[in-house]
């Protein structure tokens, strides 16, 4: 499946995914408000859709910030075979959610360097560094199980790709900073770490796609 920057992580027929995720707040704990013509203020915690009159009233803080009490576990697996160890799971996730394998691999490389036991200082876990809330939304019971983590992370990429009309840059930004931050900023959030993350993922995606090691 092809992938062109900013345009072609295509939508899929997996309607159940969007329906299931939109049933909860797609931006975590974000709250939206709208004042109608009679001056009545309406609130919702469900993303109302692009182009809606609703605006963010209360925004979820950046989930990637360091969190007190979290014991970070850095990547320590240096075995050469780790880069091919999860091939079957990556292929399965790619076929199920129609996300290119190279893209999934690029995310895993940047997030955890293919070590399934990594925990970030913010509490993100496993190969694709799922935040606990995101893991629950994606149906992941054990984020340290490689298959569950890869399927959950790829499901989230599929959701983001659908939400942002296949825009690869916004999909990556949403994966790093959360979809709420992208929606609120109507584009890539002005976070240095997110901008650098996008650069790294794209560089690795094109490197994988072009057959480089």
Catalytic residues: 111
Q: Give the pLDDT of residue 64.
A: 56
Model-level pTM? 0.71
Q: How confident is the model at residue 19 (pLDDT cuts 50, 70, 90)?
A: very low
Q: Which residue has the tokens 């190279």?
A: 102
Q: Quote the CA–CA distance of 136 and 148 in Å, as a whole number.
A: 11
Q: Give the pLDDT of residue 65.
A: 60
Q: Give the pLDDT of residue 68.
A: 63
What distances in angstroms separate CA 61 from CA 5, 126, 151, 157, 174, one per listed residue? 28, 22, 26, 20, 14
Angle between helices 87-97 and 101-112 (to 10 degrees): 130
Q: Which residue has the tokens 């694709």?
A: 128
Pairing state between β 55-58 and 41-44:
unpaired
Take residue 74 and report the two structure tokens written for it: 């850095």
Q: Give the pLDDT of residue 116.
A: 96
Q: Which has the higher per-residue pLDDT, 154 or 22?
A: 154
Q: What domains are there in the chain, each with its CATH number?
A: 63-209 (1.10.530.10)
pLDDT at 173 over 50: yes
Take residue 41 and report the two structure tokens written for it: 């203020």
Q: Which has the higher per-residue pLDDT, 51 or 65?
A: 51
């Amino acid at each position: 499946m092809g992938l062109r920057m900013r345009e072609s992580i295509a939508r899929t027929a997996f309607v159940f995914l969007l329906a299931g995720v939109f049933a909860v707040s797609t931006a975590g704990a974000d709250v939206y408000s709208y004042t109608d013509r009679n001056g009545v203020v309406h609130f919702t915690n469900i993303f109302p859709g692009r182009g809606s009159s609703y605006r963010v009233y209360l925004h979820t803080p950046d989930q990637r910030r360091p969190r007190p009490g979290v014991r970070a576990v850095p990547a320590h697996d240096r075995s050469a075979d780790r880069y091919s160890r999860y091939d079957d799971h990556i292929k399965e996730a790619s076929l199920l959610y129609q996300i290119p394998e190279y893209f999934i691999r690029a995310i895993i490389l940047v997030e955890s360097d293919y070590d399934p036991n990594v925990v970030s200082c913010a509490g993100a876990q496993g190969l694709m560094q799922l935040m606990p809330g995101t893991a629950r939304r994606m149906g992941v019971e054990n984020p340290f199980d490689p298959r569950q983590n890869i399927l959950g992370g790829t499901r989230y990429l599929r959701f983001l790709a659908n939400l942002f009309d296949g825009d690869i840059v916004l999909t990556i930004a949403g994966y790093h900073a959360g979809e709420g931050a992208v929606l609120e900023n109507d584009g890539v959030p002005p976070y240095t770490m997110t901008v650098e993350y996008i650069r790294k993922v794209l560089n690795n995606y094109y490197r994988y796609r072009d057959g480089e090691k």
